[in-house]
Chain A
Amino acid sequence: MAKLNFIFRFYRQSMVVISSVLTLIFFHICILNNNSENFSAPIVICSRQLLFLIIMYFVYQFKKAEFCFGYYRNLGLSITQIFIIPILIDCLMSTLIITCINWISTY
């Protein structure tokens, strides 16, 4: 439970800004493609996640010490727990948001 708490905190502190900006960008893509028949949610979600992973890779390279081997490493989190779980959470959240937008746009 404590580990999950750290992971959520890490997501909130380190990824949520990038995640929100990306969600906004892709929200606009959704709106622009809003004559919904040509809009494909899986493509938007996949490309968004791909971009998210690329950004996180560069963030990881530049902030390696703090992210992986500093505070969170000393709290017992592995790199998988630090990165993969927040990315999965982000994937789930963005899927939900974009699906909702898609669903609303059909009405």
Chain B
Amino acid sequence: MYKLDKHILEIDSVELSFGGRQILNSVYLSIESGKISGLLGRNGSGKSSLMKILCGEVQATFKTMRIDSVWHKQFSASQLMYLPQNSYIPKNILTKQVFKDFKICGFDFTDIFPEFSVLMDKKVGQLSGGERRIVEIYSVLKADTQFVMLDEPFSQIMPLHVSKIKSLISDEKKSKGILITDHLYQHIIDLSDSLYVVDNETIYLTREVSDLVKYGYIHSSI
């Protein structure tokens, strides 16, 4: 059994603009241990920017961040890990080295994804886009951290592996707080305990799928 210490990560009063265009305005978001928070929104609505602000890659005009009511200027890797949209592991590292670096058991990984046992001695750059993505998702999910942010984890992943990744994410929420975004919104709806939509510079907590229509994210006929 997992022993879960309850933690809450909050980001508040986020203001962000690029070249005079306001992207986010007075945004508040919280992520809780033991829960998956889904983040949906149209292209350019600011989902990825919000994640980048949380991990320190983008500087917001204004923001406050805290974990368990303790203020932080930025979060360390032991507090928050981030899976960016694009591939982030240097291509010249051996796949097994990635697991060593993140102090993760490679055998557990190959138990879930047996086809990777022959790929462990290959460089990350020699893996296909989907294979690389699986290594990236697994390493971020399994690493020793309190919170995880996943930006488009299901892109490039084949359906057979999507179900495995989904069960991995569900397993990891027992010990972490997870924020996830992807345009394959059905997976996000399936996984999420709370679902947020970014629209018109701010974030709304949705209660039902019909809210996605209201915020212009999906068409009413879907």
Contacts and interface: CB of A to CB of B under 8 A. Distances in A.
The answer to whether A and B come from one shared complex is: yes
Interface of A: 6, 13, 64-66, 68-71, 73-76
Given A13-B90, A13-B92, A69 B84 contact: yes
A66 B78 contact: no
Contacts of B86: 65
A66 B57 contact: no
B218 interface: no
A6 B92 CA distance: 14
B56 A69 contact: yes
B88 A65 contact: yes
Interface of B: 52, 55-57, 76-78, 81-82, 84, 86, 88-90, 92-93, 101-102, 139-140, 143
A69 B90 contact: no
A71 B136 CA distance: 9
Contacts of B93: 71
A69 B92 contact: no
Contact of A69 (B55, B139, B143): B55
B20 to A, nearest CB: 22
Nearest to A68: B57
Contacts of B82: 69, 73-74
Nearest to B98: A71
8 contacts: A66-B90, A68-B57, A71-B88, A71-B93, A71-B101, A74-B77, A74-B140, A76-B77
A69 B77 CA distance: 10
A74 B81 contact: yes
Contacts of B88: 65-66, 70-71, 74
B90 A71 contact: yes
Contacts of A76: 76-78
A66 B88 CA distance: 6
Given A74-B143, A76-B78, A65 B90 contact: no
Nearest to A5: B101
B89 A71 contact: yes
A6 B78 CA distance: 16
A70 B89 CA distance: 7
Contacts of A64: 57
Interface core residue of A64, A68, A69, A71 (most chain B CB under 10 Å): A71
A71 B82 CA distance: 9
A65 B101 CA distance: 19
A81 to B, nearest CB: 12
A65 B86 CA distance: 9
Given A13-B90, A75-B101, A69 B81 contact: no
Closest 10 CB pairs of A and B: A70-B88, A76-B77, A69-B57, A74-B81, A71-B89, A74-B77, A71-B88, A75-B101, A71-B90, A69-B55
